[in-house]
């Protein structure tokens, strides 16, 4: 049998970036493997991504049984959907997740229903199947809790709401990087290839809270990280500059969305306004009009516009 091809990138400090081919395309979602002193996986992706993680372990001459920790930044299914299935093959692994996320992994019915609402007919292709996690496999760290991996390496868990209320970031003492899930937003490697490093917040439905997101970014900045490990997608430096770019955009987006908001539930006007703003910005930075990298920005803005519409629909009730 031919081995599945998987794109791995070796990063300093025994960190390997695994392209988990979310949606079937490269450079959309990454998982990260810390290989030393003990194997730790950050993000499982959804179940269709697991073959890439297992192929990466084989390439690195590791077995699923060697994994000691599996860490999820949050419980959106593109980050966590495969956890229940993967854990069955990793008897030595403890699953680490935010305390607000654990019960939804034990019983994923709500998670599945909520995701179906956002993704509609695409649900089966992108996420099926979502297996539950046995409660005894879970550890839910307190904010600021430190996990000592040995060999002088620690991971610090940071409660970072804003994108969702069940979001953890993980500071790695050795790389001085932060595995930031969706807390900071998205990095666009195809634009970086064009010489335009570009980062945007992500306000996907349904728990976007702009004030909390800004506070979380300040919290990350206070750790003085060297780099950020984005799930979508890749490692990016210098962290301080990226945080300085994304933080003011949160308020800007709320301003744009509020001005474009007409009818409750209608996100399309917000998406069009966000796109006008960022298309202009990208063209001014030298991006070629019509380039596929711009199409991807537009698609991700559509998802963020849905979350902004939901925020404006419900903010007075929060
Ligand atoms: Zn998310």
Summarised one tens digit per residue, pLDDT across range 305-317 is: 999 999 999 987 7
Contacts of residue 28, Cβ cutoff 8 Å, sequence gap at least 6: 21, 22, 232, 233
Cis preceding linkage at 37, omega within 30 = yes
Measure the CA angle with vertex 52, ends 48 and 53; round to 5°. 105
Q: Is 221 exposed, middle or buried (0-12, 13-18, 19+ CB in 10 A)?
A: middle
Give the Å distance between the CA of 163 and the centre of ligand 1.
Answer: 7
Give the Å distance between the CA of 206 and the centre of ligand 1.
Answer: 10
The tokens of 170 are what? 């993980």
139: phi then psi, degrees, rounded to nearest 5: -130, 130
Beta bridge partners, 196, equal: none
Summarised one tens digit per residue, pLDDT across range 215-229 is: 999 999 999 999 999
Question: What is the rounded distance in angstroms from the CA atom of residue 32 to the CA atom of residue 79?
Answer: 11
Give the Å distance between the CA of 280 and the centre of ligand 1.
Answer: 26
DSSP annotation of 93 reads P
CB 60 within 8 A of CB 24: no
Give the Å distance between the CA of 269 and the centre of ligand 1.
Answer: 22
Give the Å distance between the CA of 164 and the centre of ligand 1.
Answer: 7
User: So where are the chain's domains?
Assistant: 8-244
Give the Å distance between the CA of 76 and the centre of ligand 1.
Answer: 5
Instruction: Say yes or no: domain 8-244 is CATH 3.90.1650.10.
Output: no
What pLDDT is stored for residue 265 in this prediction? 81
Spell out which residues have Cβ within 5 A of ligand 1, the ion: 76, 182
Answer yes or no: pTM beyond 0.75: yes
């Amino acid at each position: 049998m031919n081995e599945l091809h998987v794109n791995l990138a070796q990063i300093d400090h025994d960190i390997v970036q695994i392209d988990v081919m979310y949606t079937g395309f490269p450079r959309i979602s990454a998982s990260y493997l810390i290989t030393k002193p003990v194997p730790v996986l950050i993000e499982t992706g959804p179940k269709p991504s697991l073959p890439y993680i297992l192929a990466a372990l084989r390439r690195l001459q590791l077995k699923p049984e060697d994994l000691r920790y599996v860490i999820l930044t949050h419980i959106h299914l593109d980050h966590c959907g495969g956890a229940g299935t993967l854990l069955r093959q990793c008897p030595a692994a403890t699953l680490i997740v935010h305390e607000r996320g654990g019960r939804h992994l034990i019983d994923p019915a709500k998670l599945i229903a909520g995701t179906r609402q956002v993704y509609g007919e695409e649900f089966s292709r992108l996420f099926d199947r979502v297996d539950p996690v046995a409660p005894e496999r879970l550890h839910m760290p307190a904010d600021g809790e430190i996990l000592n991996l040995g060999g002088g390496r620690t991971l610090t868990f940071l409660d970072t709401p804003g994108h969702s209320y069940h979001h953890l970031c993980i500071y790695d003492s050795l790389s001085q990087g932060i595995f930031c899930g969706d807390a900071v937003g998205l990095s666009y490697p195809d634009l970086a290839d064009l010489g335009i490093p570009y980062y945007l917040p992500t306000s996907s439905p349904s728990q976007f809270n702009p004030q909390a997101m800004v506070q979380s970014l300040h919290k990350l900045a206070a750790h003085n990280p060297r780099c950020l490990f984005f799930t979508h997608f890749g490692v990016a430096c210098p962290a301080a500059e990226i945080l300085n770019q994304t933080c003011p955009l949160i308020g800007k987006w709320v301003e744009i969305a509020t001005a474009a908001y007409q009818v409750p539930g209608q996100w399309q006007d917000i998406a069009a306004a966000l796109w006008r703003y960022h298309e202009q910005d990208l063209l001014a930075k030298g991006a070629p009009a019509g380039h596929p990298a711009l199409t991807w920005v537009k698609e991700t803005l559509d998802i963020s516009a849905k979350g902004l519409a939901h925020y404006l629909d419900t903010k007075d009730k929060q």
